[in-house]
Structure 1
Amino acid sequence: MVVSILGHPRVSSLLRKTRLWCNFSNFVDLYQVLPTYFEEDFWNQCLKECIEWEKGKNPLWKLVSFYDPEYPKNLKEIYDPPLVFACIGNIGLLQAPLVAIVGTRKSSPVSLSATKELVRFLSTNKDLAVVSGMALGIDRQAFLSALECGLPVVGVLGTTLGMEYPPGNRDLYKRIKEDPNQLILTEFLLKTEPAKWTFPKRNRVISGLSNKVYIMESGRKSGTISTAYSAMEQNREIYVFDHPKQFDNEGGRLLIRQGAQRLFYETEIEKEEENVLEIDYEEWRKKRTIPSALRRDGGWDLNFTL
């Protein structure tokens, strides 16, 4: 049997539309009926492509189907889980408590600093693992901070497992792949180039794996918002970091207005100035007189109070 057939774009498209996979409790039974839904020549061509891919793939890559015991419980519960994914690293992390930390690629210094502090705060629970999308900005900082604090990471890709995208993260890919305690996974098996449609699909997996989703900075139209909306649909806990010195957190503030929990912070400045930090964002845009709370060493005095 060819497990990767569940990841063939044409086959997975039919399965999503018909939700045929819901009628079976194991892969063997599903695999036996799948050919009846396709023309013989077309099915044989799909099968050939998948067989060639499995023969040529990295032997360290593991395929996990929806029906395997290693498949994460949280992901199984979402409406459209990936029916198979490829991964490399410590697959046992998928059974650990997972939290997602995501945000814009063009992140502001205060959001990067807050990400470091959040990871440090979370690292008191050594059973946790951090999930993110291997993008630049917040995703990268979340993983660097997690590795520094001794927390394992789970990188979810919007491309195939053999592609290291974006190129700016090659050092991070190398570090994760060389450490058997980390994990990288993707539902894109056959050759898939980075595209606008692949990343929203990835984002639903990031939130689907996680118990909590931390949004560190997001514009109104962004991939981070896509992750947040997936998290809402999946009934995940959502926390949003909001700070006046962020470059663009319109999306984050929108999420707070829609009911997301605010990731609170306290600044180590005089109380009179603290009160100024809490004014309405629109008022701030007009006045722009808020103290920065920036320390002389370039860091931010942030204490998380979750």
Structure 2
Amino acid sequence: MTSEPSLFDRSLQRRRLIRALRSETGYSDFLLSRVVEDLVDRLAAVKRNFNVMLDLGTPVPAVAAALSRLNPAGSVVRASPVSGPEGRGTVAADEELLPFARESFDLVASILAMQNVNDLPGAFVQVRRILKPDGLFLAAFFGGETLKELRAAFAQAESEIDGGISPRISPFVDLRDLGGLLQRAGFALPVADVDRVTVRYGSPLSLMRDLRGMGLTNTLTERSRRPLRRATLLRACEVYFERFADKDGRLPATFDILWLSGWAPHESQQKPLRPGSARTRLADVLQDRSLPPLPDHKA
């Protein structure tokens, strides 16, 4: 029996992340810090205590620290594919193979860690398995149209200079797919939304430097092994300016942060109505003249 080929080289991903964490400038955490603040706001709106919590795969311990502040009496486990100088007490774990017992956690939170998982539905199933009944899964990762400008610039440059296109930017999951994936994994009350962040740069090279600082350079299994030609890189930078520069000459870079949440099923949760149990007919509602008219559609 042969397994399906992996989209991402997970070993290379770990090496790139280790390089970012151990570089002189350290991990580039400006986006992660923003997302962690959003995580805290979202959890603050949930009126319950989570006593046993898991920080799954987040590159630095910022999420574990935030969870500890939210519930000082609770316990937090940090699971990471890499260990660093702050790694004491961290469980070595991969998002694709979780080493935890069934129904171990009240909350699993994962920030900017799951965008390069090969088997995302399988990872969701594993998270569902380790959640206690009525436990919450809350995650944020890059998706949608993230880095669309850089992708387009490289595609045009390679087409012009090299006569063909090789994958330079990883494909990202679409927001519309996430709710269905959570349902298939057995989650109740699935919700998915997107936070679009636009970061402006002075040059594409500054953007690429930040991507290296986040460990987000190309780790596709089918990536080109040939070194990037200087002429191709320079043309990609020119295309970026030509097609996307703002009026002040700054360059926008799009990051779509996909948020998803789902609950491990529990009898206390809301249930959908049984077919045929509604007490009001749709026809009666449509005939109610007190309802406001639909607005005109203008092209």
Q: Which has the higher helix share?
A: 1
Do these two structures clear the TM 0.5 threshold for a shared fold by scoring above it?
no
Report the TM-score, using the length of structure 2 for normalisation.
0.31
Structure-1-length-normalised TM-score = 0.30
Highest RCO, 1 vs 2 (Cα 8 Å, sep ≥ 6): 2
Say which one has the larger Rg: 2
